[in-house]
């Protein structure tokens, strides 16, 4: 797809906006629709778009599999550790009230952190799945087309 | 939107959903099916918006219209484009479906009416969520406060599910090139490959 | 009568949709189609949940400061989770389909069953000889 | 040594013996010495308990409570003592015989053979001393399973199918009928402990008693009541020492012993005679008794003939139980001992003949008595004892049974006993007659290479195969004179 | 330390859950295995301490996020789920020492990290689905376990490609089952407005005649029926167990279906109750015939199998029939049998599949012909098969006997004579298929061309024999298990009526 100049230009323009929108969705979930999951999907789709236009190998340079393999579990770990933090700070598992000076701040902080965890894992998993498919060689009979 | 308007939108969208589902069932060209699946998801996202579930609609559009369509196209690229067998009628399937559907229709007669503001589900737990979201948590989006806090544990599970899927896909499809030498051989043999079950191999 | 229809038409249409999905899962032999059927089935269950959450005259459950009627937010939360579970299942299912295709050269249930039966017969014959 | 200790030892000694045999497996002489020592020590321990039981004691050992109210426990009573003595005593004799036989025929897998034998004896001890029906059932099943490898010993197709039938029928009947009966009893009576006078009085509808009894009787497949007798001839594919000890003594006697236990301690003789619940059993036993004898006559294979004879003789004991009178029960119990001595003699003789000449068919045994006089003499004595002629032990048990029949007014049963004695003559004596009185066909049968006494023109099997049957034949004679002591020991069981 | 015990309910699931992503970060080699082992042992320790706490001082309620139920998610531990937790974590604790060599043999070494991650996720899901007191949370955690189970089954593809189709079928049917369950939960939520199980139980009685409740009940039972492979919804099970790697079969066969049975019990007796007309009817007219068919068709199918793993997989279908039968009996003895059999069946199938794994390690495929004459070459392995086989048959002094004893007691208590006889008759079918193996192993001649085979390594034999010994120990001293099971059964029936 190297010769699709228009696609390349448009997507180069588009991708930053998608990323920006993803960030907005990630952190604006408290106020409107959205949250970590949706943001993660958007992040991932930006990468997938990049990979489709510029090739998977280029995408892998931006976001190598090694980094992904690290990011996939990290989101979940962040989430789970937030839960443990609740215990350590004297509350129950996943108790955000105790995370900051007063319950409401605690709740805000807790939600922010776990949404970040969700976003990380979701985005990383989606890209991982895409890479896994892309890394597969095609062996399709012609008649199937 | 007025209630009648929503009713009409609902009926139109649901009818279109049914048609696209039937088309998915009958079409043998899997690319067309993929496209229809994407359309199906977007239609249902529209319906979800009409039903006030904006978060869900967002997610459904991103997941159903985006991710799962991409996944399906990826799968088709690696497998085949056409369903080889023509659609055929299956009596057992029909019977199962009729029984299941019958049970649900039977249930509807005692369900709270659609849109009923006095439905039991609205009376019991939900008021606490609305108040709590305002006062205890201070997050305007009630869905977020339930999702992340009241039922935050469910969401932890949800992330674990996604993580499982990631691990699973990596396990099944990951790193093909490096594996080719040792897995490709077994994959094409009729199972019990003698090479892979030599006792010496594990003597270590 | 009309009341009853108005009260439940949404459910009925969703049930029909659900049953089309289930029928595809059971009756189709193409492995991709089965998963698509599963998706339709699940999506209609999501719709069922969201329908039961709807309140006539209500709005999306986001606090805006004005006293308002909200639709029930809890099913929304549940369905968000369920959608994620659904996509996870779909991803795994498709990954399996790809591997099956690589092993058997087909994604049609009939072909695969035929191949497996042939293998089974060979195994039994070897065992008996 | 405390009583409990002794009781525990009866189970432990053969089990440990089994382990020791496995350990000594590579050295045949050591292995066989271990077997013999184990058998002797076991017998000594059993005898040490005898006096206490004769004095009216009931040594008890509580092992563990499996479920509330359902313990595994051992409790010695006279009947069990008798069975225990018979089984452990004859194990010594049989071990000697096994050494001769197994070496004489160059059998494979001898270690496995001795191990399984020890386990079988251990479970026989468990059956003999079981304190409740549940414990008995467990050891009953272990006995079945541990004897399976013995039956399948030869590992050829015939042995395997015979063993399959053996296991299938014994496990099938025990789980299919006996277990159901046990659970029924438990539900009805709330206990399974063996109690004189039974535990079922007023606990169960009298019209259901015959059904429960039938579940027990057919469930105790080892008693070989027709139509569940087929396993016994099938088991004859086993090496002869197995047939001798297990299928003349341990296994089948475990079966009829269980029958007696059930009749005496679960139902109670009085309950049975009051309700007549065992009436049908008299006729089934009589039928088995006669039918098996008739089949025995038609068999030319010696071991098969003896097997059917066993089926027939077992029904004597069942008949004694079915008569539901104290004399009948005594006769049945006595027959456990007398028949055991007689039948083990016959089997060991059959084995000796096989070792010496490799002959199994009766029609081939012309004139063998002249070259194997000891074997055939022993056979003759065993046969006479089984037929019930004085001065051999078998006569006593038959006498008691006949008395019991007369006592309960069952004239027809007396007739059955008479006819069957005649049939006994008809199928056992021809073997003796052929051996002694028919001239041997030329050329003379070639004896085993190591035949002792070849100098005297004899061709007996190895000494270890000949002495044991002679010993047991002698036992038949001795027991005739000491039968009263045995009956005295048994008296308490009929109250 | 008191902090540890105070939060034990949460840690029971949270620790495995956290360990799964950590496991996927590990370098490989033995590390992932070792982490899984440590976590399993911790989970075992946690479940023991929970069971003790519950038996000593009554039910535990743990509020996730400190939100009081029914608003937040509650962990509610009572005797029954503490018992099921013990089964799951106990099996895992024994299976993992066994796993290392078996997995090394059957799974690509480069995939071990992912394999053990999936294993830990499966463990997490099963534990979480059991311990939770929230209906929707059950769904979420069971899906974690199901998804990872699909992956684990598919891991057998290195040995036999049929693992892939087995996993696929498992996935389709499992997802349909989960979706049915969700529909059922939705119907109940619709009319009660709650997802908390205790709360549901309180709010349902006035709604007995509500059709949505009845349909919800049906959907939940059918959904879980698919997951627990209740006949005739068992079609995914035989192949999934057959082609999965040995360790996976050991773990799944002893735990996964048990959790589904537990969920069914929970809904039948805690949420609904046998006194509800429509629930009582299902016992006699649905569960009873299906259970009996399962017992016979499962066992009969087992007899005709040549692949030993599939043979025991079909036997599992039959054994699940026993569990359903115990429910169908509807009395304390029957229910005791079901709860006991959850434990007992885990012991016997765990041992049997472990032994088959040992055989697979040495000779590859485990067919009835392949094991001919192996009894002498692998004496410990086959002695274990014989021992666990006896337990499967239900020979006295084994755990299998204890289960059957209570089942028959339950049948007699109802006066259902024919059922008692059928239970006994189906054990006889077990005699046939178990003996087929014993006979081949001990009395069959080795197939030509098979060289000498050595006994499995001690590392695998030790856990195997631990299970076998447990089969006998809990068969002889059944006091512990029966008292817990009896208590559970009494609570269920007492609370329901």
Name the residue range of residue E438's domain.
304-497
Counting CB pairs under 8 A, whether chains B and E reach 3 or more, is yes
More confident position, A76 or D112: A76
> What's the token pair of residue E195?
């997802």
* Position D442 confidence tier, pLDDT thresholds 50, 70, 90: low
C50 CA: distance to closest CA in chain B (Å): 7
pLDDT of E140: 95
D103: pLDDT strictly greater than 80: no
pLDDT of A138: 64
Average pLDDT over every residue of B4-29: 87
C129 three-class SS: coil
Average pLDDT over every residue of A72-93: 91
CATH hierarchy code of domain C2-128 = 1.10.287.3510
- Choose the closest CB to A133 out of B54, B156, B173: B173
Residues E458, E464, E466, E468, CA torsion sign:
negative
pLDDT of B1: 53
* Position A3 confidence tier, pLDDT thresholds 50, 70, 90: low
Q: Test E150 with C92 for CB contact under 8 angstroms.
A: yes
C touches which chains (3+ CB pairs under 8 A)? A, B, E
- Choose the closest CB to E73 out of B108, B153, B201: B153
What is the C-alpha separation between E442 and E383, in angstroms, rounded?
A: 10
E251: pLDDT strictly greater than 90: yes
Residue of E nearest to D179 (CA): E424
pLDDT of D459: 65
Counting CB pairs under 8 A, whether chains E and C reach 3 or more, is yes
Average pLDDT over every residue of D393-404: 84
- Using a CB–CB cutoff of 8 Å, tell me whether B98 touches chain E: no
B180: pLDDT strictly greater than 60: no
Residue C59, φ and ψ in degrees, nearest 5: -125, 175
For helices E246-265 and E211-227, give the axis angle rounded to 10 degrees: 160
Residue with tokens 């006295």: E396
What is the C-alpha separation between D228 and D222, in angstroms, rounded?
A: 9
B179: pLDDT strictly greater than 80: no
D330: pLDDT strictly greater than 80: yes
Which E residues 184-213 touch C at CB under 8 Å? 186, 189-190, 195
Residue of E nearest to B108 (CA): E212
D72 within 8 A of D152, measured Cβ to Cβ: no
Among D41, D58, D72, smallest CA distance to D3 is for: D58
B61 within 8 A of B49, measured Cβ to Cβ: no
Name the CA radius of gyration of chain C, rounded. 22
* Position D440 confidence tier, pLDDT thresholds 50, 70, 90: low
E414: pLDDT strictly greater than 90: no
Highest mean pLDDT, choosing among B181-190, D167-176, E47-56: E47-56
Residue with tokens 């341990």: D250
D56-96 pLDDT, tens digit each:
777 888 878 777 778 888 888 888 888 888 888 888 888 88
In a domain, E275, yes or no: no
Residue of C nearest to B106 (CA): C12
Q: Test A32 with C91 for CB contact under 8 angstroms.
A: no
Average pLDDT over every residue of B30-52: 91
Interface test with D, best of E303, E398, E443 (most D CBs within 10 A): E443
Cβ contacts of A129 on chain C, cutoff 8 Å: 91, 95
The count of CB pairs under 8 A between chains A and E is 51
pLDDT of B183: 41
- Choose the closest CB to E161 out of C103, C123, C124: C103
Q: Test A77 with E22 for CB contact under 8 angstroms.
A: yes
% of chain B beyond a pLDDT of 70: 84
D474-488 pLDDT, tens digit each:
888 888 888 777 877
C77-105 pLDDT, tens digit each:
999 999 999 999 999 999 999 999 988 88
Q: Test E63 with A92 for CB contact under 8 angstroms.
A: yes
What total number of domains does chain E contain?
1
Among E179, E164, E322, E296, smallest CA distance to E240 is for: E164
| CA-to-CA dists, residue E493 to D22, E209, E272, E482, angstroms | 51, 21, 11, 16
Average pLDDT over chain C reads 87
Q: Test E420 with D175 for CB contact under 8 angstroms.
A: no
Interface test with B, best of C2, C9, C14, C36 (most B CBs within 10 A): C36
Q: Test D175 with E390 for CB contact under 8 angstroms.
A: no
D382: pLDDT strictly greater than 80: yes
A78: pLDDT strictly greater than 50: yes
D125: pLDDT strictly greater than 50: yes
Average pLDDT over every residue of D128-145: 87
More confident position, D452 or D248: D248
pLDDT of E356: 93
B58-104 pLDDT, tens digit each:
999 988 888 888 889 888 888 888 887 777 788 888 999 999 999 99
Average pLDDT over every residue of E244-256: 93
In A, what residues contact C, Cβ < 8 A?
Answer: 31-33, 37, 129, 132-133, 136, 139
Domain ranges within chain A, ordered by starting residue: 5-135
* Position A52 confidence tier, pLDDT thresholds 50, 70, 90: confident
A28-40 pLDDT, tens digit each:
877 777 788 889 9
- Choose the closest CB to B90 out of C26, C32, C60: C26
ipTM: 0.84
C66 CA: distance to closest CA in chain E (Å): 24
pLDDT of D55: 79
Average pLDDT over every residue of D307-325: 86
E13: pLDDT strictly greater than 90: yes
E329-380 pLDDT, tens digit each:
988 999 999 999 999 999 999 999 999 999 999 888 788 888 888 888 888 9
D329 within 8 A of D401, measured Cβ to Cβ: no
Average pLDDT over chain E reads 90
* Position E219 confidence tier, pLDDT thresholds 50, 70, 90: very high
What is the C-alpha separation between D49 and D75, in angstroms, rounded?
A: 11
% of chain E beyond a pLDDT of 70: 99
- Choose the closest CB to E421 out of D68, D164, D180: D180
C11-38 pLDDT, tens digit each:
888 999 999 999 999 998 889 999 999 9
Interface test with E, best of B101, B152, B154, B169 (most E CBs within 10 A): B154
| CA-to-CA dists, residue D239 to D14, D100, D243, D387, E376, angstroms | 21, 12, 7, 25, 21
pLDDT of D37: 86
> What's the token pair of residue D220?
């105790």
What is the C-alpha separation between D318 and D217, in angstroms, rounded?
A: 9
Residue D449, φ and ψ in degrees, nearest 5: -60, -35
C71: pLDDT strictly greater than 60: yes
Interface test with B, best of A21, A22, A27, A37 (most B CBs within 10 A): A37
A41 CA: distance to closest CA in chain B (Å): 7
Counting CB pairs under 8 A, whether chains D and A reach 3 or more, is no
> What's the token pair of residue E456?
């499995």
A1: pLDDT strictly greater than 50: no
Residue with tokens 């996730």: E64
Q: Test E478 with D175 for CB contact under 8 angstroms.
A: no
> What's the token pair of residue A54?
């510029």
Buried b or exposed e, range E444-474, using 16+ CB within 10 angstroms: bebbeeeeebebbbeebbebbbbbbebbbbb
% of chain B beyond a pLDDT of 90: 27
pLDDT of D208: 82
D204-231 pLDDT, tens digit each:
788 888 888 888 888 888 888 888 888 8
Domain ranges within chain C, ordered by starting residue: 2-128
């Amino acid at each position: 797809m190297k010769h699709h100049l228009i696609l390349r230009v448009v997507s180069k323009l588009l991708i930053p906006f998608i990323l920006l929108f993803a960030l907005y969705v990630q952190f604006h979930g408290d106020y409107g629709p959205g949250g970590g999951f949706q943001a993660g999907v958007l992040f991932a789709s930006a990468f997938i778009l990049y990979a489709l236009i510029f090739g998977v190998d280029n995408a892998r340079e931006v976001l190598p599999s090694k980094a992904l393999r690290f990011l996939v579990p990290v989101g979940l770990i962040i989430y789970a550790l937030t839960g443990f933090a609740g215990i350590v700070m004297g509350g129950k598992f996943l108790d955000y009230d105790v995370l900051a000076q007063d319950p409401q701040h605690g709740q805000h902080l807790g939600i922010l952190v776990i949404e970040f965890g969700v976003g990380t894992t979701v985005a990383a998993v989606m890209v991982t799945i895409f890479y896994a498919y892309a890394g597969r060689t095609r062996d399709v009979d012609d008649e199937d087309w | 939107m007025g209630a009648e308007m929503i009713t009409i939108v609902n009926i139109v969208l649901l009818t279109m959903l049914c048609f696209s589902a039937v088309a998915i069932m009958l079409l043998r060209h899997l690319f067309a099916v993929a496209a229809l699946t994407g359309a199906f998801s977007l239609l249902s996202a529209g319906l979800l918006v009409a039903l006030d579930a904006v978060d869900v609609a967002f997610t459904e559009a991103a997941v159903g219209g985006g991710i799962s369509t991409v996944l399906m196209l990826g799968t088709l690229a690696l497998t085949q484009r056409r369903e080889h067998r023509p659609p055929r009628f299956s009596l057992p399937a029909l019977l199962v479906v009729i029984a299941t559907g019958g049970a649900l229709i039977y249930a509807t007669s005692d369900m709270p009416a659609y849109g009923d503001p006095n439905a039991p589900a609205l009376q019991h737990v939900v008021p606490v969520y609305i108040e709590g979201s305002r006062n205890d948590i201070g997050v305007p989006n009630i869905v977020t406060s339930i999702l992340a806090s009241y039922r935050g544990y469910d969401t932890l599970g949800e992330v674990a599910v996604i993580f499982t899927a990631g691990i699973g896909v990596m396990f099944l499809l990951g790193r093909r090139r490096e594996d080719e030498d040792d897995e490709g051989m077994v994959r094409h043999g009729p199972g019990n490959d003698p090479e892979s079950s030599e006792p010496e191999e594990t003597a270590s | 009568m009309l009341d009853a229809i108005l009260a439940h038409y949404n459910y009925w249409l969703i049930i029909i949709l659900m049953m089309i999905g289930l029928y595809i899962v059971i009756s189709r032999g193409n492995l991709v189609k089965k998963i698509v059927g599963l998706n339709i089935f699940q999506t209609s269950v999501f719709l069922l949940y969201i329908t039961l959450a709807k309140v006539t005259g209500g709005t999306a459950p986001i606090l805006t400061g004005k006293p308002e009627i909200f639709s029930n937010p809890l099913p929304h939360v549940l369905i968000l989770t369920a959608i994620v579970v659904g996509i996870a299942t779909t991803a795994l299912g498709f990954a399996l389909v790809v591997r099956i295709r690589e092993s058997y050269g087909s994604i049609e249930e009939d072909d695969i069953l035929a191949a497996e039966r042939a293998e089974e017969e060979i195994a039994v014959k070897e065992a008996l000889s | 040594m405390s009583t409990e200790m002794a009781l525990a030892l009866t189970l432990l000694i053969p089990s440990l013996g089994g382990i020791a045999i496995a350990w000594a497996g590579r050295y045949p002489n050591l292995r066989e010495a271990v077997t013999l020592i184990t058998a002797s020590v076991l017998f000594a321990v059993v005898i040490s308990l005898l006096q206490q039981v004769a004095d009216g004691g009931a040594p008890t050992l509580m092992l563990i409570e499996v479920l509330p109210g359902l313990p595994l426990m051992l409790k010695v009573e006279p009947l069990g003592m008798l069975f225990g003595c018979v089984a452990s005593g004859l194990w010594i004799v049989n071990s000697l015989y096994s050494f001769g036989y197994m070496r004489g025929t160059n059998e494979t897998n001898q270690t496995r053979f001795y191990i399984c034998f020890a386990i079988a004896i251990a479970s026989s001890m468990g059956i003999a001393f079981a304190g409740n029906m549940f414990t008995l059932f467990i050891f009953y099943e272990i006995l079945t399973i541990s004897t399976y490898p013995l039956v399948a010993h030869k590992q050829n197709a015939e042995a395997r199918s015979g063993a399959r039938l053996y296991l299938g029928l014994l496990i099938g009947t025990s789980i299919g009928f006996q277990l159901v009966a046990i659970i029924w009893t438990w539900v009805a009576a709330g206990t399974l402990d063996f109690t004189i006078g039974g535990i079922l009085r007023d606990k169960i509808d009298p019209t259901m008693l015959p059904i429960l009894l039938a579940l027990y009787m057919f469930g105790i497949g080892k008693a070989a009541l027709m139509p569940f007798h087929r396993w016994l001839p099938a088991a004859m594919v086993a090496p002869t020492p197995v047939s001798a000890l297990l299928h003349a003594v341990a296994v089948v006697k475990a079966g009829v012993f269980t029958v007696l236990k059930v009749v005496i301690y679960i139902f109670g003789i009085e309950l049975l005679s009051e309700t007549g619940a065992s009436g049908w059993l008299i006729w089934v036993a009589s039928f088995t008794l006669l039918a098996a004898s008739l089949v025995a006559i038609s068999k030319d294979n010696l071991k098969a003939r003896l097997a059917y004879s066993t089926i027939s003789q077992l029904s004597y004991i069942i008949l004694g139980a079915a008569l539901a009178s104290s004399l009948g029960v005594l006769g049945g119990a006595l027959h456990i001992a007398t028949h055991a001595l007689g039948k083990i003699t016959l089997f060991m003789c059959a084995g000796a003949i096989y070792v010496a000449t490799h002959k199994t068919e009766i029609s081939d045994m012309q004139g063998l008595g002249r070259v194997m006089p000891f074997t055939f003499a022993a056979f003759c004595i065993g046969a006479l004892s089984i037929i019930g002629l004085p001065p051999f032990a078998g006569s006593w048990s038959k006498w008691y049974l006949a008395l019991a029949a007369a006592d309960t007014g069952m004239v027809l049963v007396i007739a059955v006993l008479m006819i069957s004695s005649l049939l006994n003559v008809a199928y056992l004596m021809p073997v003796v007659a052929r051996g002694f009185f028919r001239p041997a066909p030329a050329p003379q049968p070639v004896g085993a290479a190591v035949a002792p006494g070849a100098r005297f023109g004899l061709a007996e099997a190895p000494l270890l195969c000949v002495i044991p049957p002679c010993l047991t034949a002698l036992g038949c004679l001795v027991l005739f004179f000491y039968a009263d002591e045995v009956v005295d020991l048994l008296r308490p069981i009929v109250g | 330390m008191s902090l540890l015990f105070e939060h034990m309910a949460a840690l029971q699931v949270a620790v495995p859950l956290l360990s799964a992503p950590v496991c996927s970060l590990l370098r490989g080699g033995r590390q992932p295995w070792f982490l899984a082992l440590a976590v399993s042992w911790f989970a075992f320790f946690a479940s023991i301490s929970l069971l003790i706490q519950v038996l000593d001082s009554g039910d535990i309620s743990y509020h996730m996020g400190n939100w009081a139920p029914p608003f937040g998610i509650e962990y509610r531990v009572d005797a029954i789920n503490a018992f099921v937790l013990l089964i799951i974590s106990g099996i895992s604790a024994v299976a993992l020492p066994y796993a290392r060599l078996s997995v090394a043999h059957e799974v690509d070494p480069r995939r071990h990290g992912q394999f053990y991650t999936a294993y830990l996720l499966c463990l997490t899901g099963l534990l979480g689905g059991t311990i939770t007191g929230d209906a929707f949370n059950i769904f979420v955690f069971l899906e974690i376990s199901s998804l990872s189970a699909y992956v684990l089954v598919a891991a057998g593809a290195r040995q036999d490609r049929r693992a892939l189709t087995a996993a696929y079928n498992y996935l389709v049917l499992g997802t349909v089952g989960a979706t049915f369950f969700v529909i059922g939960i939705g119907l109940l939520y619709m009319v009660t407005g709650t997802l908390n199980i205790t709360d549901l139980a309180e709010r349902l009685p006035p709604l007995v005649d509500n059709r949505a409740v009845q349909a919800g009940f049906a959907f939940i039972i059918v959904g879980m029926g698919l997951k627990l492979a209740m006949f005739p919804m068992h079609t995914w099970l035989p192949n999934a167990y057959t082609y999965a790697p040995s360790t996976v079969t050991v773990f799944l066969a002893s735990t996964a279906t048990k959790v589904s049975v537990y969920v069914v019990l929970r809904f039948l007796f805690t949420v609904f109750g046998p006194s509800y007309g429509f629930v009582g009817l299902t016992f006699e007219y649905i569960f009873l015939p299906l259970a009996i068919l399962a017992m016979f068709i499962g066992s009969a199918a087992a007899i005709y199998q040549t692949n030993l793993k599939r043979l025991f997989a079909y036997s599992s279908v039959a054994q699940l029939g026993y569990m359903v039968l115990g429910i169908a009996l509807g009395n304390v003895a029957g229910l005791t049998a079901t709860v006991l059999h959850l434990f007992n069946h885990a012991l016997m199938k765990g041992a049997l599949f472990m032994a088959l794994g040992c055989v697979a390690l040495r000779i590859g495929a485990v067919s009835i012909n392949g094991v001919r004459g192996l009894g002498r070459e692998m004496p410990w392995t086959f002695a274990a098969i014989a021992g666990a086989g006896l337990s499967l048959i239900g020979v006295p002094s084994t755990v299998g006997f204890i289960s059957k004893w209570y089942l028959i007691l339950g049948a007699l208590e109802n006066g259902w004579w024919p059922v008692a006889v059928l239970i006994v008759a189906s054990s006889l079918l077990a005699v046939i298929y178990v003996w087929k193996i014993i006979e081949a192993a001990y009395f069959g001649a080795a197939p030509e061309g098979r060289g000498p085979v050595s006994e499995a390594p001690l590392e695998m034999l030790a856990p195997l024999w631990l299970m076998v010994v447990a089969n006998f120990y809990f068969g002889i001293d059944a006091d512990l298990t029966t008292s817990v099971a009896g208590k559970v059964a009494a609570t269920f029936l007492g609370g329901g009526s």
